[in-house]
Each structure stands twice: as C-alpha cells, then as structure tokens.
Structure 1
Amino acid sequence: MTTTGTGHREGLRERKKRAMRGQLSDTAARMFLEHGFDAVRVADVAEACGVSEKTAFNYFPRKEALILDRLETTADALRTHLADPALPPVAAMLKILDAELHAVGTSLTATDDPEQALSDYRRFGDLIRTTPALRAYQSDIAERCTEAAAEVLATRSGFDPAEPEPQAAAAALLGLWRVQFRALRTHLRPGHPIEEALTAVTDEVNRAAALIRDGLTTFPAAGDELRDQRAAPGVHP
C-alpha cells in the first residue's frame, strides 16, 4: 500500500491502473509527436503498450483524451474548491491553477534534460493548436468546466445555474485558466530558466485575477441576499 498526495491509501490494483493510464498517455504523446495525430490509431498506441484496443478505450473513451485527459481533472477540482465556502471564487480558482502550474514545473524539472523537455512541451502545444480534433476537444472541455463552475457557484450562492450571475462568474474564472495556458506558451521556452518562466506565468495570472477579484468577492453574499428576497412573502422569481 502507498499513500497518495491527497492522503488516500492506494492499493496495488489502483497503482497498476494508474501506471497503465500513464503509459498509454505517454506513449500516445510520443507517437503523435513523431507521426502526427491523424496518422496514429488508438489500436497502434495499445499495441505499443502491449494491451488490446478495448483496454485502451476502457481508460480513455476518445482518442483525443489520450493526451488531454489531464484537463478532465480540472472539472473535478472546480467542483471541490469552488464549493468550499471558506474560499472566495477567485482564490479557489487560483488554488487550482497553482496546483496545475506546479505539476507542469515538476514534470519539466524532473527530467535529465530539461531543455529537451521544454522543447517537447512546446511541440506538444503546437500539436494541439494545429490539430482541429484536439482544439475542438480542448474547447469542449473548457465549456464543460465553465458549466461545472456555474453549477457549483449557483449552489453555494442560491442562484439558478442558468442565471447571468453564475454564468458570468464561471466564464471569468475559466478565463484565468486560458490566461495561464497562453502564458505558459509565452514564457516556457528553451534557453530560459524554468523557475523564472513559472514565476512570470504566476504574475500574469495574478494580474488577470486582480481585474475580476473585486467583482467576485461579494458573489456568495449577493446570492444570499437574492435567496432572502425570494423567500420573502409575496416575492416570486
């Protein structure tokens, strides 16, 4: 048994599943970079990993998810942190982005050749931008994350998810995610220290967050007020 970073005790079966998931994703990324996304089938990735195509699809429901599956965890993180009443919405989003940025930095600095890792990272970004299917999948995930954020914000504040307040707040918060994604592309490049690049990314995200923080700081309170108004006799939505 091992203990994960979240304190969850992980058994042998969970470790094997996580290892296989990582192997499939890493192998897919390498093959897509070498041959192009459209030229590689899921069956090719599965064969390279010594498993069946069915097994690969058990881990990843779509081909695009093979290399963009980590984005799916963003929705889970949004549901967890935005639901925390002790965290204002912007602070919750910054916590999520900081964890993602830390993961990027760790993956780049843990290699024997950080410069090659940086080069591969940029090639990976180029692959996403130049592959319509991957761009569409990334946009779909961003939209789903925005809707998930709107639902959580609506629940904690008393709004309906379709109302403009949670919709606008969710869009603003996910805008910070896009700022970080673009800042990573700008600052993470060969020949520049990784730590300095990550600091620059954090600075850009914080500057963007400052623009929306004041407006969202009172978001839960505004929801409480609306809920009280709706509960008053003779007041109907």
Structure 2
Amino acid sequence: MAEGLRERKKRETRQRISDIATALFVEHGFVTVTIAEVADAADVSVNTVYNYFPAKEDLFLDRSKDVVHRLARWVRGRDAGESAVAAVLRELREEVETVSPRVGLTKDYERFLKVIHEAPPLRSRLWSIAQEVQENLEAALREETGAPADDPMPTLIAGQINWLHQTVMGVIGREMVAGRNPDEVSREVLVLIDDMEGLLSEKVLNYAVRGAE
C-alpha cells in the first residue's frame, strides 16, 4: 500500500509540474521560460523537474508517449475480420465524433499550437514524434502480418495510415486556430474521413485483416 501511495504521489507531482510549465509556456512563450522558473513556480528543485522530464520539450509535450504508440495500438487492437486501416478509421471516427480533445477538438488547442509555432525546439520535437509514430506503426504491421524484413508492404501501408491521421490532425489544427467551433469542425472532419477512405485502394483497405479467434 505504501508503494502505491508513493507512485500516486509521483504521478501527481509530475502532473502538477507539467500543468504549471504549460501555463507558463502559454503565457510567456516556450523559449522565454526557463526550467528554474518552472521549478520555482512548482515549488520543487530543478533536479526534481529533470527527474521527471529529461528535456524541456518533455514538459510541454508530456503526452507524446501516448501519441507515438496511438496508431500501432489501434492496429494491434483491431477486431476479428477488421483490417489495419479499418481499425484506424473506426478509432479516428470515434475520436472525432465525440469531439475529443485527444485529436485537438478543443478551443484550448489554438493556444497549444501557438506555443509550438513560436518555438523551433518544439517543432523539431514534433517532427521526431511523427517519425516515431510511423516507425512504431510499421513495426506493428510487420509483427501482426509476419512480414519479412525485405517486404515493403508494411512500410507502404504505414505511410497510408499515417497520411489519414496526419491529415485529420492537420485540418483540425488549422480550423481550431481559425477560431472555429469544435462541434462544427467535428462534423466536417467526419465527412473528410469518408472522402479519404474513398481514395484508398482495395489492397490498402484489406491489408492485415484479423482472422477469427
């Protein structure tokens, strides 16, 4: 029980530091705010901040670990009779239909993107995250299909799936920055997802169909 309490306290401390850092970055800019200022505002030492967040970028992009595994997780969790692309389309539609903040459908997303736009280190980190997303997805596809290392199909299908995800995220980000209502954007993006699905070939749509258990 004591171990559980310690872990919970660590999670709470980590979250508090991240929330305080994010508020400072939004108000003053990512480049301007120092780790020392974050530590002071959170009433912890600089070393404590670094214990939880190895790099300054991690403070703002604290949820990146979930993002880099998102598509691979959706593919691995596909239903029986469902292909890899179908699983991702289903999950994307659900996130968009429920107006989920996880895909940026929140008015706060404009402030988040503004901080990134003004900070080259964050833009660089986002590029790295995008690479990780595709690499993890390709690895999942290769593992799920048993494809050999010289088979290009997992690479090609990962690119198609990543295109779906990146396009949805890009359009949502653009509309949120424009001050649009999340509910309206949600409805429009659902139509966009249908349009994108219509552009995919049967070979892509039927890749990595999960057999019956």
- TM over 0.5, yes or no? yes
Find 1:104's aligned residue among 85, 101, 104: 101
Matched, 1:31 2:24: yes
- The answer to whether the 8 Å contact 1:183/1:204 transfers is no
CA apart distance, 1:173: 1.1
Instruction: Spell out, residue by residue over 1:63-117, the C-alpha distance to the aligned partner (whole angstroms, 9 max, x if none).
Output: 11212122320233333321235342123223444565544179977xxxxxxxx
Give the whole-Å Cα distance in 2 for the aligned partners of 1:217 and 1:106: 23
Find 2:33's aligned residue among 9, 30, 40: 40
Distance 1:23 1:164, change over 3 A: same
Counterpart in the other structure of 1:22: 15
The one-letter code of the counterpart of 2:101 is: V
Give the whole-Å Cα distance in 2 for the aligned partners of 1:213 and 1:128: 35
- The answer to whether the 8 Å contact 1:157/1:220 transfers is yes
Instruction: Quote the sequence identity (%).
Output: 32
The alignment of Structure 1 onto Structure 2 pairs a total of residues equal to 204
Matched, 1:172 2:160: yes
Find 1:88's aligned residue among 83, 89, 98: 83
- The answer to whether the 8 Å contact 2:26/2:111 transfers is yes
Distance 1:107 1:205, change over 3 A: closer
Give the whole-Å Cα distance in 2 for the aligned partners of 1:37 and 1:162: 42
Counterpart in the other structure of 1:216: 204
Other structure's SS at 1:37 match: coil
Other structure's SS at 1:219 match: coil
- The answer to whether the 8 Å contact 2:69/2:137 transfers is no
Larger Rg: 1
Give the whole-Å Cα distance in 1 for the aligned partners of 2:83 and 2:149: 18
Gaps of 5+ in 2: none
TM-score for the superposition, normalised by structure 2:
0.79
Distance 1:27 1:182, change over 3 A: same
Give the whole-Å Cα distance in 2 for the aligned partners of 1:15 and 1:180: 34
Instruction: Spell out, residue by residue over 1:154-204, the C-alpha distance to the aligned partner (whole angstroms, 9 max, x if none).
Output: 111121356321111111111222112212123335764332222223332
Gaps of 5+ in 1: 2-10, 110-117, 225-237
The one-letter code of the counterpart of 2:26 is: L
- The answer to whether the 8 Å contact 1:31/1:40 transfers is yes
4+ long deviations beyond 6 Å: 105-109
Give the whole-Å Cα distance in 2 for the aligned partners of 1:206 and 1:21: 39
- The answer to whether the 8 Å contact 2:75/2:84 transfers is yes
How does 1:29-178 map onto structure 2 within 5 Å?
A: 29-84=22-77, 86=79, 87-98=82-93, 101=96, 102-104=99-101, 118=107, 120-161=108-149, 163-178=151-166
- The answer to whether the 8 Å contact 1:77/1:96 transfers is no
Distance 1:211 1:19, change over 3 A: farther
TM-score for the superposition, normalised by structure 1:
0.72
Give the whole-Å Cα distance in 1 for the aligned partners of 2:34 and 2:95: 28
Q: What's the Cα RMSD here?
A: 3.0
Give the whole-Å Cα distance in 1 for the aligned partners of 2:66 and 2:128: 14
